[in-house]
Amino acid sequence: MDSTEVSRILVEWFDVHGRHLPWRPDEDPYRIWLMVVMLQQTRVETVLPYYERFVMTFPTLPELAAADDEAVLAAWKGLGYYRRARNLLAGAREMAASYNGRVPEAPEALERLPGVGRYTAAAVASIAFDAPAAAVDGNVLRFLSRFFAETGDIGNAKVRARLETLAASLLPASGRGLHNQAAMDFGALVCAPVPHCDTCPFSGACAAFSQGIQADLPKKTGKTAPLTEHHLVARIRDDSGRTLLHRRPATGLLANFWELPNVVQAEDPAAAFLSAGLNLEILAELGEVRHVFTHRLWVLHVVSARLIRQPADFSRYQWCADPHEATLPRAFSKILELD
């Protein structure tokens, strides 16, 4: 089966079975860029309500570029991986400054934007501008590994490069964005982790299927177990019921987000918080919350507490009447549910 036939079958399948994403009818480059970034590490069905809310708040690229950080983080709240929101804002500002408020057409220019890698650049450029770029995500890698019976580890750079070359060889002369969307959806829905070979239009041409090894592909080295970190978290309230929040450092994980005050777990919670500048009376244990990031697991041991004396430097603290309305990372908003 030649590349033209592969692309034709993918697109015909997509016309009938493809997922209908909200930006597909108008193919607005801004909305395509936004959706592709949102879909990084997040499932389509999870993204859709957040996408709708985000574009209602920031319907155009110039409006996003002019927004402040807090407004963007508030619109992103609940979707997780908040670095994507910060990169979106930085990218919008870069496009406003350097590209006249427009999404650049070339994949190479897109890759220079914050948070945009090779896959994201190829997806946006091909879908929005029909650029000759193959968008190779995990779903496409799985399809290609099986179709060509690639038995190498897809985590290996040489193997991945080989598959990306094969992906590029399948691109049609036009309609590359449609082809890429079809390949991604096909990998997600048919050539899934548990393949649906009985409904696959490629089963007669699939090298892995002919060898009976489709269930064993793709090969990938197992993930490293996440690093586990234990923290003490204090739910501190004053006499009027307000909750004390602390702003995280300007760099690192969850940079500049508001959080509940916390320290590394210790046998004496009051002493641990005192060493961090908070003089607290520990009132009760509230429970434990677990939150998984990409490469780490937080185990949060939560206590209720009363502030005995305000810290000398209160600049990164604030009292909040309703912390449910604050833009707290999910790890900390879970703690509010312990009440």
Which sequence spans correspond to the domains of the chain?
Answer: 3-216, 227-336
pTM assigned to the model: 0.78
Q: Is the pLDDT of residue 20 over 80?
A: no
What backbone phi and psi angles, to 5 degrees, belong to 125? -65, -40
Token digits of residue 95: 């496009």
pLDDT of 297 over the 60 cut: yes
CATH code of the domain made up of 3-216: 1.10.340.30
> 303 near 282, Cβ under 8 Å?
yes
Mean pLDDT of all residues belonging to the chain: 94
| pLDDT, greater one: 78 or 17 | 17
Q: Which residue has the higher pLDDT, 262 or 21?
A: 262
Residue 339 has pLDDT above 90, yes or no: no
Q: Is 7 exposed, middle or buried (0-12, 13-18, 19+ CB in 10 A)?
A: buried
- Nearest to residue 234, comparing CAs of 212, 198, 264, 195? 264
Give the per-residue pLDDT at 24: 59
Q: Average pLDDT in the 23-49 region?
A: 86
Question: Tokens representing 151?
Answer: 């038995």
Q: Name the residue with higher pLDDT: 295 or 119.
A: 119
**41-97 pLDDT, tens digit each:** 888 889 999 999 999 999 999 999 999 999 999 999 888 888 899 999 999 999 999
Q: Across residues 121-138, what is the average pLDDT?
A: 96
Confidence at 25, pLDDT banded by 50, 70, 90: low
Give 295's pLDDT tier (boundaries 50, 70, 90): confident
Average pLDDT on 105-116 reads 96
Q: For residue 293, name the pLDDT band (cuts at 50, 70, 90).
A: confident
Q: Helix-strand-coil percent breakdown of the chain, rounded to 5?
A: 45, 15, 40
Q: 227-336: which CATH architecture?
A: Alpha-Beta Complex (3.90)
